Structures are given as C-alpha cells and as structure tokens.
Amino acid sequence: MRRLLPVLFLFTFTAFAQTPPANDEAVHNALRQVKATMTKALNERDVETIAANVTPEIIFTTMNGDAVHGRDGIRAYFNKMMNAPGHVVKSITTSFEADALTTLYGGDTGVAYGSSHDRYELTSGQTFDINGRWSCTLVKEGDKWLIASFHYSTNVFDNPVLAATKKYAAWAAGGALVLGLIIGLLIGRRRAA
C-alpha cells in the first residue's frame, strides 16, 4: 500500500495539473471566441470587426515585415494590401491553431502562440499556401479580451514564395543559356562565311 500511495498521488496531481480551474476555463473559452471571431473576420475581409477586437495601440508585425500601429494602422494596412490601387492580395483564407492554452498573467493578460494555414490569391493570379507561425498578447479591458500585439511570420528559408522565385530564376537562367547559344552559333556562322 505504501508503494501504491505515491503512484496514486502522482496520477491525481497530474490530472489536476492538466485541468484548468473552472474560472480559467471560462477565460480560455472567451479567448477561443476571440480567435474564432478574428479568423472569420480575416477570411471575410471584415476590417471593422478586426479593429473592434484589438486595443487602440495594437502592434501588428505582418508576414511581409511591416510594423503596423493602432486601429487606423490596421485599416490602412488592409486597404493597402487588398483594396488600394496597386494592391497585391486579392484574397486570403486562413485557419489559426493554438499550440497550447494561453499563458495567463494576473487574470487580465495572456500570451498565446501557434500555427496557421493560409491560402493567398494575388492580383497577378498566383495562388500559394503558406504555413505560418504567430504569437499574440491579449489584454482584458472591462469584460472584453482584446489583442494588444500580434506577430505573424513564416520560414524565410522554406516557403512557396521562395520556391517560386527559385523556379523562375532557373527558367530565366535556362532561357538565357539557350539564347546565348543561339547568338553564339549565329556569330560563328557569320565569321565563318
């Protein structure tokens, strides 16, 4: 029995440690709702819902390396990328997955991180899928959780944009080689004649 007691204690402690307290479960449910709301808003290009769920002083580091500040900055960034003359992105579809429960600090701050699966359609007609990584700081203002910072990135060494660039460079190099050979043959024939 003495040997069994520590094992039972360990199983009980482990089960207890993995189950968030009831009040934390309500917080995590609220945070899951923020994620669902923001995913839907991004997929539907609903910038006003995005702006309503971030703090007035949000810091957003975008996948293309821009640093966006504030709600008006969010609006301007999405307009530049998806609506303004010369915009690059025609549409984006994404899904976000958290790697773990949000780490809570003091009941009014949380840090979350995870992955995303994104499909971009560009105005050029190109489409590509990107597996992204994100981290996010959330704060509770009143009874509402808002995003205070969001950092979004992808692997700069292995992504579809880089792969497309390498493929284009290979085709361009091959084309230049063939063109050079043809020009060389023509010049050689002229000199021989």
Output 101 or 193, whichever has higher pLDDT.
Answer: 101
State yes or no: pLDDT of 106 exceeds 50.
Answer: yes
Average pLDDT along the chain: 83
First to last CA, the chain: 104
Domain locations in the chain as residue ranges:
21-154, 157-193
Q: Mapping DSSP to helix (H, G, I), strand (E, B) and coil, where does residue 60 land?
A: strand
- Specify the pLDDT at position 17: 45
Token digits of residue 46: 């609903």
- The domain made up of 21-154 has a fold known as Nuclear Transport Factor 2; Chain: A, (3.10.450)
Q: Is a pLDDT exceeding 80 seen at residue 159?
A: no
Given pLDDT bands bounded at 50, 70 and 90, which one contains residue 21?
A: low
Of the candidates 21, 32, 44, 22, the one whose C-alpha atom is nearest the C-alpha of residue 138 is 32
Tokens of 172: 């361009």
DSSP summary character for residue 108: T
Query: Mind listing the pLDDT tens digit for each residue in 23-32?
Result: 789 999 999 9
